[in-house]
């Protein structure tokens, strides 16, 4: 009888021990999750395509690394092109036209001077931003404003058919006016959209987010992205793990197309700083007919644009006498 009671007592202690171990494990898992401060994405995004931006010549002797706009990634609705440019005088982008989309120029190093045929002129420097809506037509030049190498990014964003013939406009921000936040080893400059609860003042006619992240070694990022938007990453410097924790490391000058989903996770496991842009936009789901700097919806509209440009009409009137000043 005593043996039976001893057996029951030992069984009770064993079950009690297992119960507390299970509770303890649950608590540790929960605490670990809280310490990372990461949102639980319903549908996390992953990398579905990787494109190396290879150097090529554009404009007048300028060197660019093109990712979106290459044969491997011709268009990524609503994005038409992404160039990382590296330009030294006298090279640059002399007088040339645009119609039907927006250009976003973001300076990484140095300075560029912009002039257009309506009298708009200015210089953007390291960290500055110019968001130009070409609309129905603009002719301008973009040239280096100093000695040495001038570096930056230029993104082309398509406009919907209803916006392609609007009047041109500019949004320009100096570096000091670009919204920024630093948190847990992650620094972000908010060109467009929102990050860490901070909103950019830039108006995006085609709904767009454009975030410039710098991550310290050992840091992790969790960034929400509207689920219906297309999104991509371009790595400026360093290397990181994007999307899934067990994904391969990807290094600079690569564009990464992301799957659909409501958020992105990034890990910097290297000993170096990681810098990249995360760009997302609402697809237009419209036909794209592009001929160089003209982007419309039909071939007939492209032919009409060539006529307007040639005869200096319907948006290109100021082209008759204008030449940029060197």
Query: Quick one: what percent of the chain has pLDDT higher than 70?
Result: 87
Strand 198-199 to 263-267 pairing: unpaired
Taken in order 253, 259, 262, 264, the sign of the CA dihedral is negative
Other Cβ atoms closer than 10 A to 121: 13
Average pLDDT value for the chain: 89
Residue 325: band (very low, low, confident or very high) from pLDDT cuts 50, 70, 90: confident
Residue-wise pLDDT tens digits, 221-237: 999 999 999 999 999 99
* Model pLDDT, residue 6: 42
How many residues belong to the chain? 326
CA dist 252 and 53 (Å) reads 9
First to last CA, the chain: 106
Q: How far is CA 222 from CA 46, 119, 254, 288, in A?
A: 12, 43, 20, 33
Nearest partner of 192 among 250, 264, 279, 254, judged by Cα: 279
Strand 294-296 to 250-251 pairing: unpaired
Contact present, 235 and 193 (Cβ < 8 Å): no
* Residue 140 counted as an annotated binding residue: yes
Residue 36: band (very low, low, confident or very high) from pLDDT cuts 50, 70, 90: very low
CA 315 to chain centre: 29
* Residue 253 counted as an annotated binding residue: no
Strand 111-116 to 121-125 pairing: antiparallel
Q: Is the pLDDT of residue 294 over 60?
A: yes
* Model pLDDT, residue 194: 97
Residue-wise pLDDT tens digits, 122-133: 999 999 999 999
* Residue 237 counted as an annotated binding residue: no
Other Cβ atoms closer than 10 A to 294: 22
What global pTM score does this model have? Answer: 0.87
* Residue 98 counted as an annotated binding residue: yes
CA dist 8 and 163 (Å) reads 80
Q: Is the pLDDT of residue 17 over 50?
A: no
Q: What is the DSSP letter of 300?
A: H
In order of start, what are the domains of the chain with their CATH numbers?
47-281 (2.60.120.10)
CA dist 120 and 131 (Å) reads 13
């Amino acid at each position: 009888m005593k043996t039976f009671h001893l057996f029951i007592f030992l069984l009770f202690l064993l079950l009690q021990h297992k119960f507390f171990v299970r509770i303890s494990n649950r608590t540790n898992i929960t605490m670990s999750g809280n310490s990372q401060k990461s949102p639980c994405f319903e549908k996390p995004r992953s990398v579905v395509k990787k494109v190396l931006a290879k150097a090529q010549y554009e404009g007048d002797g300028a060197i660019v690394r093109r990712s979106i706009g290459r044969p491997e990634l011709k268009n990524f609705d609503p994005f038409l092109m992404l160039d990382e440019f590296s330009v030294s005088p006298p090279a640059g982008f002399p007088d040339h036209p645009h119609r039907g989309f927006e250009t976003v120029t973001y300076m990484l190093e140095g300075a560029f001077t912009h002039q257009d045929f309506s009298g708009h002129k200015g210089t953007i420097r390291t960290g500055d931003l110019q968001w130009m809506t070409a609309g129905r037509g603009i002719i301008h030049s973009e040239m280096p404003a100093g000695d040495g190498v001038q570096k930056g990014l230029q993104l082309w964003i398509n406009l919907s058919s209803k916006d392609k013939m609007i009047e041109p406009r500019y949004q320009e921000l100096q570096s000091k006016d670009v919204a920024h936040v630093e948190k847990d080893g992650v620094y972000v400059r908010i060109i467009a959209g929102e990050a860490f609860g901070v909103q950019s003042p830039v108006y995006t006619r085609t709904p767009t987010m454009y975030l410039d992240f710098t991550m310290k070694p050992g840091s992790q990022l969790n960034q929400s992205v509207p689920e219906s938007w297309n999104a991509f990453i371009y790595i400026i410097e360093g290397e990181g793990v994007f999307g899934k924790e067990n994904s391969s490391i990807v290094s600079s000058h690569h564009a990464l197309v992301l799957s659909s989903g409501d958020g992105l996770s990034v890990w910097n496991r290297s000993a170096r700083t990681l810098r990249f842009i995360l760009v997302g936009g609402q697809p237009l789901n419209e036909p794209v007919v592009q001929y160089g700097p003209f982007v419309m919806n039909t071939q007939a509209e492209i032919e009409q644009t060539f006529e307007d440009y040639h005869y200096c009409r319907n948006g290109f009137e100021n082209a008759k006498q204008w030449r940029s000043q060197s």
